[in-house]
A and B are shown apart, each in its own frame.
Chain A
Amino acid sequence: MKEGNTYSRRQFMIMTGLACAAVVSSSSLGTLFKTGVAEAAEKPEKENINDVLKKYFGDRKVEMSHVKLKTPIIAENGAVVPITIISDLPMDKDNYVKKIYIFVDENYHPFTASAELSPANGKASLALRIKMRKTSNVRAILETNKGRLYGAQKTVKVTIGGCGG
């Protein structure tokens, strides 16, 4: 009786355990699959950075000089990434930086922000806090009033969960 009891209990435990596992896995898989599909339908299509750059600048070449981009190496929170663009380009009356562009390669819409400047700014610099979806290149591109492009880029590692890895 005793032996039979333990045996049946063990069996019962195994059976219920298996059943529970089966139910849980199937249901969680089901919901995962469902939400996965729903999110995929809602998510916008990611724009390719090269297409975006082509749209903004055509075939013009970006010279990687005169611009310094300051970013954190690791951003623990992708929703707030402080970036600073510093440039030593002149801001004279007839030779100045007309526009600053900020792009984040891996965002759905890489174009993040732009600023049209004028000689009254005195300095072609800008600091802003931006959002990043995941680890990605950040590009800053400066356009002068003569149509020349200067840029800088840097990779920022975004860790979700703040483990700092």
Chain B
Amino acid sequence: MAKGIGKIKIRTPRRYKKGDVIPIKALITHPMETGFRKDKKTGKRIPAYYISDVNVFYGGELITQMQWTIAVSANPFMTFYLKADKDAPLKIVWKDIKGKVFEKTVQIKPQ
């Protein structure tokens, strides 16, 4: 399970014009442990381990800030919208409760 934590995929539409509102889809590999689950072999509880903060920057500006809890599914997949009004990088940063930070940048290029 620990393998592949932080693997990120971000998908943007193939073609869009300046000023279009486009969907951004992002998937990150993360176990999102609730802390209620038990290890079947040892019977011990698996400690909670989840992503608590997601920040989205567009051209250096913080545009969306999400707070997540344990009730977000494992390998969270989210879709949000963005007004593509400039040619700028879109950076998404995930932070989990162990302090690990995962980030990925994609370029928004309106045509």
Interface residues of A (CB under 8 A from B): 42-44, 79-82, 84, 91, 104, 107-109, 111-123, 125-132
Q: Which of B45, B66, B71, B85 contacts A130 (CB 8 A)?
A: B71
Closest chain B residue to A116, Cβ basis? B65
Check B63–A43 contact: CB distance below 8 A: no
Q: List 15 A-B contacts (CB under 8 A).
A: A84-B79, A91-B83, A108-B36, A109-B70, A113-B72, A115-B66, A120-B63, A121-B63, A121-B81, A123-B21, A125-B81, A127-B79, A128-B79, A131-B34, A132-B71
Q: Report chain A residues within 8 Å CB of B76.
A: 128-129
**B80 and A112 form a contact (CB under 8 A):** no
Knowing A113-B72, A131-B72, the reply to whether A126 touches B67 (Cβ < 8 A) is: no
Say which residue of B21, B66, B68 sits within 8 Å of A122 (CB atoms): B21
CB-based contact A128/B72 at 8 Å: yes
A123 pairs with B81, CB closer than 8 A: yes
Question: In the complex, what residues of B have CB within 8 A of residue A118's CB?
Answer: 62-64
